[in-house]
C-alpha cells in the first residue's frame, strides 16, 4: 500500500502560525532544503510500505523535523487493518511510556514555581513513603535465599522518581518476590485513583535502596500523584492546563471524546498465539490516570511538544518551562556509581548504562557518547519509546527530532532501530 503524503496541510494539521511569524513548524520546500536526501528518504518510505505489505505492521505515522521545518509527515498502511481503514496523519495512538516526558515537564513547572524541589523527599508529599522498607536478599549456605527488610538509607526524593533511582519497579518486568508483590497487590489496575495506587506502593518493599540502582519503574506514576498533592488538581486536569492547552495539543489526554473514535489506531493480531495486543481503545476512560503510561496523542501533537524543547521551552510565544530547566532535564542525571537493575539490559539501546553510551535525564534516556550504541545519533540526543510501538528522539546537535507512531508491540524494538538507521542515512548535510 502506498503511503499518504501530506504536502500542503502540515501547518494546518499542526495548528501553528505562519512561517513569516518565526513560530510553529512550517513545511520545508523540499528535504534538500534542510539537508536531507529525497532519494534516501524514500528508502524509509519503501521499508515501511514493505512492513505493511508483509503483515509485519498494520500501519504507522512518521514525522521528521529539522531546523524548525517539517521534512517528512507521512502515513503508511492501515489505521485499522481488519476494517481496511487507511492510516492518516491525524490518527490517535496510545503512547504508553511516552507519557513520562510529559508528566516530567508538568512536574518541572511546579519546581519552577517554587512549590516543590527535586531534592524534596517523596514522603513530604506522600507521608507513607517515609515508612517504606527496602528488600535485601542474602544467599544461605544451603543454597536458599533469605529476604529481610531494612529502612531506607536515605529518603527517596523527587529526583529519584524522575530518573528511576527510587527503588520502585514494575511487576511485569522480571520475576522476584518484590515484583510479584506488585502483581498480587494489583498496583496497576485501571479502577483506582492515583492516591490509591501510591498508597499500595508505599506498603510494598523497595527493590533497591534509593539512589543506588537504575530500575525502570512506576516512579513516574508516583510523580503524577505528587503533582496532584502539590497542585491540588487531578493529574489529567493539571496536564491539560499546563501542557496540552498552552501547546495546543488538541488530541493529547488520557482519553479522547467518542466522536474521535474513528481516528484511533488499532493493532493487528500478532505473536505466537496470533492475538490482538491488549491496547485500550483511545476513547476508553479509566479512573487511574497513569502518569507513566496513560496518555493518547498524535504525531503532530507530540511534535509540538518536542518543538517546545527545541525552542528552549516555548512555542508560539507561550513559555512552558525555562531554557535552563531543559538543560537539566536533558543532561545525564545518573550518578557515576549507579548500578543497573537486574534484567535492565533487556531494554537494549534504551538502557541508560555506560555499555551502550547512555545515561538518563528527567524523563528519557540521554546519549552521552558517540559510540557503544547500535543506533546512530549524537551525544546528548534524548529518546524514549512506548511499549505499544511509539517512539521519539530529539537530536539537538542536528537540530532534528523524529516522532514515530505505531501500535505493533511485537516489532516495536526492531522498528525503532530501523527508523534510526534510515533517518540518519538520509541526513547528508
Q: Is residue 82 a part of any domain in this protein?
A: yes
Mean pLDDT of 12-36: 63
| Per-residue confidence (pLDDT) for residue 37, from 0 to 100 | 98
Tell me if 175 sits within 8 A of 132, measured CB to CB: no
Pairing mode of beta strands 339-340, 213-214: parallel
Helices and strands, counts by H and E, the chain: 12, 17
Domain of residue 71 covers 4-99+251-425
Phi and psi at 86, nearest 5°, equal -65, 145
Instruction: Say whether both 144 and 280 belong to one domain.
Output: no
User: What's the mean pLDDT in 179-207?
Assistant: 96
Give the C-alpha distances (Å, rounded to integers) separating 112 from 106, 123, 159, 403: 10, 20, 14, 27
Per-residue pLDDT tens digits for 377-426: 999 999 999 999 999 999 999 999 999 999 999 999 999 999 999 999 99
Highest mean pLDDT among 132-146, 323-337, 364-378: 323-337
Angle between helices 219-231 and 99-112 (to 10 degrees): 40
Contact present, 267 and 277 (Cβ < 8 Å)? yes
Residues 206 and 185 reside in one and the same domain = yes
In this structure, are 92 and 116 located in the same domain?
Answer: no
Q: What is the pLDDT of residues 308-352, one digit of tens each?
A: 999 999 999 999 999 999 999 999 999 999 999 988 988 888 899
Domain count across the chain: 2
The pLDDT value recorded for residue 15 is 38
Q: Are both 145 and 20 inside the same structural domain? A: no
Report, as an integer, the average pLDDT of 274-299. 96
Looking at the fold, whether 222 and 343 belong to one and the same domain comes out as no
Same domain for 71 and 137, yes or no, is no
User: Can you tell me the distance from the alpha carbon of 7 to that of 232, in angstroms, rounded to the nearest whole number?
Assistant: 44
Residue 140 is predicted with a pLDDT of: 77
Question: Is the same domain home to 166 and 222?
Answer: yes
> Is the per-residue pLDDT at 19 higher than 60?
no
Alpha carbons 329 and 360: distance in angstroms, whole number: 9
pTM confidence score: 0.92
316: in domain: yes
* Measured distance CA(40)–CA(38) in Å, rounded: 5
**Is 53 domain-assigned?**
yes
92 plus 124 within the same structural domain = no
150-164: per-residue pLDDT in tens? 999 999 999 999 999
pLDDT for residue 5 is more than 60: no
Over residues 48-53, the mean pLDDT reads: 98
Task: Kindly state the average pLDDT of the residues 266-274.
Answer: 93
Say which CATH number the domain at 199 has. 3.40.710.10
Of 231, 262, 292, which marks where a domain is finished?
Answer: 231
Q: What is the pLDDT of residue 139?
A: 76
- Specify the pLDDT at position 79: 98
Q: What is the mean pLDDT of the chain?
A: 92
Same domain, 48 and 135: no
Provide the pLDDT for residue 24: 53
Cell triple for 59: 500501519
Are 122 and 157 in contact by the 8 Å Cβ rule? The answer is yes
Question: Is there a single domain that holds both residue 93 and residue 119?
Answer: no
Determine the straight-line distance between the first and last CA of the chain, rounded to whole angstroms: 31
The pLDDT tens digits of the residues spanning 228-249 come to: 999 999 999 999 999 999 999 9
Of all residues in the chain, the percent with pLDDT exceeding 70 is 94
Mapped onto helix, strand or coil, the DSSP state of residue 141 is coil
Residue 168's closest CA among 178, 176, 177? 178
User: Are the CB atoms for 128 and 202 separated by under 8 Å?
Assistant: yes
Per-residue burial over 127-158, b if 16 or more Cβ lie within 10 Å, else e, is eebeebebbeeeeeeeeeeeeeeeebeebbbb
- Residue ending a domain, among 202, 231, 260, is 231
For residue 63, is pLDDT > 80? Answer: yes
Mean pLDDT on 58-75: 97
| Same domain (yes/no): 290, 420 | yes
Amino acid at each position: 500500500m502506498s503511503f499518504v503524503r501530506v504536502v500542503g496541510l502540515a501547518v494546518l494539521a499542526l495548528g501553528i502560525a505562519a512561517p513569516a511569524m518565526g513560530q510553529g513548524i512550517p513545511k520545508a520546500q523540499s528535504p534538500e532544503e534542510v539537508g536531507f536526501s529525497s532519494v534516501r528518504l524514500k528508502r524509509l518510505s519503501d521499508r515501511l510500505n514493505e512492513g505493511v505489505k508483509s503483515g509485519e505492521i498494520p500501519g504507522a505515522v512518521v514525522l521528521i523535523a529539522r531546523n524548525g521545518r517539517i521534512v517528512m509527515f507521512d502515513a503508511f498502511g492501515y489505521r485499522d487493518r481488519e476494517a481496511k481503514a487507511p492510516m492518516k496523519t491525524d490518527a490517535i495512538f496510545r503512547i504508553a511510556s511516552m507519557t513520562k516526558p510529559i508528566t516530567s515537564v508538568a512536574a518541572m513547572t511546579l519546581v519552577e514555581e517554587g512549590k516543590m524541589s527535586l531534592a524534596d523527599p517523596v514522603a513530604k508529599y506522600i507521608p507513607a513513603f517515609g515508612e517504606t522498607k527496602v528488600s535485601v536478599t542474602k544467599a544461605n549456605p544451603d543454597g536458599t535465599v533469605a529476604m529481610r527488610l531494612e529502612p531506607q538509607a536515605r529518603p527517596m526524593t523527587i529526583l529519584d522518581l524522575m530518573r528511576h533511582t527510587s527503588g520502585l519497579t514494575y511487576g511485569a518486568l522480571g520475576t522476584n518476590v518484590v515484583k510479584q508483590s506488585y502483581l498480587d497487590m494489583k498496583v496497576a489496575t485501571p479502577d483506582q485513583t492515583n492516591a490509591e495506587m501510591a498508597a499500595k506502593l508505599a506498603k510494598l518493599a523497595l527493590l533497591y535502596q534509593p539512589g543506588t540502582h537504575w530500575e525502570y519503574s512506576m516512579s513516574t506514576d508516583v510523580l503524577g500523584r505528587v503533582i496532584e498533592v502539590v497542585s491540588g488538581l487531578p493529574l489529567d486536569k493539571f496536564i491539560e492546563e499546563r501542557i496540552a492547552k498552552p501547546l495546543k495539543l488538541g488530541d493529547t489526554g488520557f482519553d479522547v471524546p467518542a466522536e474521535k473514535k474513528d481516528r484511533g489506531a488499532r493493532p493487528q493480531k500478532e505473536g505466537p498465539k496470533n492475538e490482538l495486543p491488549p491496547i485500550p481503545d483511545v476513547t476508553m476512560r479509566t479512573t487511574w490516570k497513569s502518569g507513566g503510561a496513560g496518555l493518547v496523542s498524535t504525531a503532530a501533537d507530540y511534535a509540538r511538544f518536542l518543538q517546545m524543547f527545541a525552542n528552549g521551552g516555548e512555542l508560539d510565544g507561550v513559555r512552558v518551562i525555562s531554557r535552563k530547566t531543559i538543560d537539566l532535564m536533558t543532561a545525564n542525571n545518573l550518578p557515576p556509581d549507579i548500578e543497573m537493575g537486574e534484567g535492565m539490559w533487556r531494554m537494549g539501546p534504551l538502557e541508560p548504562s555506560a555499555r551502550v553510551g547512555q545515561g538518563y535525564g528527567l524523563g528519557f534516556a540521554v546519549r552521552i557518547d558517540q559510540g557503544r550504541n547500535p543506533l546512530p545519533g549524537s551525544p546528548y540526543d534524548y529518546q524514549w519509546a512506548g511499549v505499544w510501538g511509539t517512539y521519539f528522539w530529539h537530536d539537538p546537535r542536528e537540530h532534528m527530532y523524529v516522532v514515530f507512531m505505531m501500535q505493533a508491540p511485537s516489532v516495536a524494538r526492531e522498528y525503532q532501530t530501523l527508523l534510526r538507521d534510515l533517518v540518519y542515512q538520509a541526513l547528508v548535510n
